[in-house]
Amino acid sequence: MNTFEKKVIGLPDTKLQAEIVKLYTEICHRANALYNTFEYFLAGDSEIKIFLDFLTANDPRAFLYCRFIEINGISFPGLSIEKIIELDLVDVNKEDFSELLSQRIELLSWIEKTKEVKFYFPLNKLFHQFEEISDFGISFEYPEHFKTPEFDNAIFNRVRKFTTTEKENEVLEVTERAVSALNDLVTLGFIRNDKQRWTLDLDDFIHAIQFNLNSERPLSVNQNLARFKGFRKFFEDQRFVPTQSGTPKNILKFEETIAEIQNDKNEN
């Protein structure tokens, strides 16, 4: 049984890829800044799950207070967390607290921008630990060269288009062969390597194609190929190229040759 294998159509969208990489580099930078502040505020509580819970918390202020109270073993029996915050019963560093909330808002605003490029990759999968170093990132040079394979694969799939059926594969293969032939014409110099003008040369190429009726493969090269604009410079044999008077040059030479042969016969 044949199994379908999807194929990449054309070239990747490198502009979009650059935008995604730039965006996630900034997201990781902001996440690291927030993570460091979070860890410092909670006296070394660096569990990644807790940090991510803080990011998604409906009430981040209450989340921080609850976590702070739990870590420091503080107890206020009978009082809700809202009442504790209202009465300001917990001695937290107000400056660090405000900085945490501010950095959180900044990070979430950057994550929101992923909607613009229609690419979202889970932040927890960008968190890596190297011995004593814990960081968010899409690639690292220190303490060792490391890239995130899942992230790279996700980008690979986002910036490329793929076939979905065998018929599409068939059409793609034929189209690729046609494009390869056109690139050969660029190499020859028939088609100019010019974004604005190459289609003008393609018009000349089309004129040299002949359509044949009642044929399953109706297109063929016109036998008078050398007379068409664009092809003339490639053909040394100019028998099809009209002279200014309208009589082909090589035909005149042919007629002169016939006359010479006739004269030889008469002399003999």
**Residue 143: other Cβ atoms inside 10 A:** 10
Distance CA 246, CA 229 (A): 16
- Whole-model pTM? 0.75
Decide which of 87 and 41 is more confident. Answer: 41
Q: Which of 120, 163, 153, 168 is nearest to 23 (CA)?
A: 120
Distance CA 60, CA 101 (A): 7
Residue-wise pLDDT for 171-213, tens only, equals 999 999 999 999 999 999 889 999 988 988 888 888 889 999 8
Nearest to 221 by CA among 206, 234, 238, 233: 206
pLDDT of residue 248: 55
227 vs 153: which has the higher pLDDT? 153
Higher pLDDT, 235 or 1: 235
Q: Do 173 and 180 contact (CB within 8 A), yes or no?
A: no
pLDDT score recorded for residue 201: 87
Residue 11 pLDDT: 95
Q: Which of 5-14, 83-92, 219-228, 238-247 shows the lowest mean pLDDT across its residues? A: 238-247
Check residue 77 and give its pLDDT.
77
Give the Cβ contact number of residue 243 at 10 Å: 12
Whose CA is closest to 68, among 89, 99, 86?
A: 89
Over 197-262, what HEC string results? CHHHHHHHHHHCEEECCCCCCCEEECCCHHHCCCCHHHCCCCCCCCCCCCCCHHHHHHHHHHHHHH
Q: Which of 32, 34, 25 is nearest to 139 (CA)?
A: 25
pLDDT of 115 above 80: yes
Mean pLDDT (the chain) is: 84
Give residue 132's pLDDT band: very low, low, confident or very high (50, 70, 90).
Answer: low
What pLDDT shows up at residue 249?
53
Q: Count the Cβ atoms, other than its own, within 10 Å of residue 161.
A: 14
Split at pLDDT 50, 70, 90, the class of 31 is very high
Evaluate if residue 170 carries a pLDDT over 60. yes
- In tens, the pLDDT along 232-268 reads 888 865 555 555 555 555 555 555 555 566 666 566 5
Report pLDDT for 234: 84
Tell me: the pLDDT tens digits for 44-91? 666 888 999 999 999 998 888 888 877 777 777 777 777 777 777 777
User: In the prediction, which pLDDT does 175 show?
Assistant: 96
- Structural contact between residues 237 and 226, judged by C-beta atoms closer than 8 angstroms: yes
